[in-house]
């Protein structure tokens, strides 16, 4: 069953520059605090959805062109929401729950820990402070970051698709590719991500096969209030967004 679902998802999402990676809810719940547990049985089938560099041209720009008059909030969030919601139509006989990376709980905490989900699904390796043996940061707060074996840091984790009616007792857990394997490079990665994230150098910590286009880099480097203009959206949509 997992293979059939995965193939259908890849067929629907792949042409949009989106990647689905399967995992069991229990893999995720086993490594996060109870406050972040997903409220499903441990063998429930789930997928973490990544956006790759090609998503900008394959999904976002066509979406903006087609749905221009309906865009009233962040265009990327609305684009991802549109396409993941449409995926549910591919499974008329299944319940499909969707969680988005931008959703938060009443406690102001995220609905799920995106980088942890990507790691347990084998989609990208979540490098954290604990992965460095000789910690050089003392009392400084150090945040972790996921690196994809193909895209480096040039990708994003956009959401989860959960299939509550599908239990996958024998799904084997894939290990994420440890592509930043030396102590020196891990320190460099976490240094760049925590203290120089604006320049994006951490994204190229490995040799990548695909990265964001110049147009896409400019878009994401632009303050959100000004991104509408880059996509050719109207001032009216912009006013609605930021009322």
Scan for tokens 């490079």, then name that residue: 185
pLDDT in tens, 164-219: 999 999 999 999 999 999 999 999 999 999 999 999 999 999 999 999 999 999 99
226 pLDDT exceeds 90?
A: no
58 pLDDT exceeds 90?
A: yes
Boundaries of every domain in the chain: 1-237
pLDDT in tens, 97-107: 999 999 998 88
Cβ neighbours of 179 (radius 10 Å): 18
Distances (CA, A) of 62 to 16, 75, 128, 236, 243: 10, 11, 36, 20, 26
Residue 77: alpha-carbon gap to chain centroid: 11
For residues 45 and 23, what is the distance between their CA atoms, to the nearest angstrom?
6
For residues 76 and 69, what is the distance between their CA atoms, to the nearest angstrom?
15
9 pLDDT exceeds 90?
A: yes
Q: Using 50, 70 and 90 to split pLDDT, how confident is the model at 241? A: very low
pLDDT in tens, 110-138: 999 999 999 999 999 999 999 999 999 99
Q: Using 50, 70 and 90 to split pLDDT, how confident is the model at 234? A: low
Could you tell me the two tokens for 94? 């299944």
Residue 33: alpha-carbon gap to chain centroid: 20
Q: Using 50, 70 and 90 to split pLDDT, how confident is the model at 230? A: confident
For residue 47, count CB atoms less than 10 angstroms from its CB and return exposed for 0-12, middle for 13-18, buried for 19 or more.
Answer: buried
User: What does pTM read for this prediction?
Assistant: 0.92
As a whole number, mean pLDDT of residues 28-55 equals 97
Distances (CA, A) of 134 to 37, 51, 92: 31, 33, 52
Instruction: Give the Cα-Cα-Cα angle 66, 68, 71 (nearest 5 degrees).
Output: 120
- pLDDT number for residue 201: 96
């Amino acid at each position: 069953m997992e293979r059939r679902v995965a193939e259908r998802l890849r067929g629907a999402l792949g042409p949009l520059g989106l990647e689905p990676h399967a995992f069991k809810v229990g893999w995720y719940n086993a490594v996060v605090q109870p406050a972040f547990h997903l409220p499903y049985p441990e063998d429930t089938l789930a997928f973490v959805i990544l956006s790759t560099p090609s998503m900008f041209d394959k999904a976002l720009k066509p979406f903006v062109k087609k749905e221009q008059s309906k865009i009233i909030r962040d265009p990327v969030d609305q684009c991802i929401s549109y396409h993941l919601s449409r995926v549910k139509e591919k499974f008329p006989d299944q319940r499909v729950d969707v969680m988005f990376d931008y959703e938060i709980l009443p406690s102001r905490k995220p609905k799920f820990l995106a980088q942890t989900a990507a790691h347990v699904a084998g989609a990208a390796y979540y490098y954290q402070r604990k992965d460095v043996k000789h910690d050089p940061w003392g009392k400084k707060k150090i945040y972790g970051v996921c690196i994809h074996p193909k895209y480096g840091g040039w990708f994003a984790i956009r959401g989860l698709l959960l299939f509550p009616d599908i239990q996958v007792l024998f799904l084997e857990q894939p290990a994420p590719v440890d592509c930043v394997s030396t102590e020196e490079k891990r320190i460099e990665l976490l240094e760049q991500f925590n203290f120089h994230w604006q320049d994006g150098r951490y994204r190229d910590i490995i040799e990548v096969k695909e990265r964001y286009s110049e147009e896409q880099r400019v878009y994401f480097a632009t303050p959100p209030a000004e991104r509408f203009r880059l996509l050719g959206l109207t001032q009216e949509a912009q006013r609605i967004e930021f009322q």
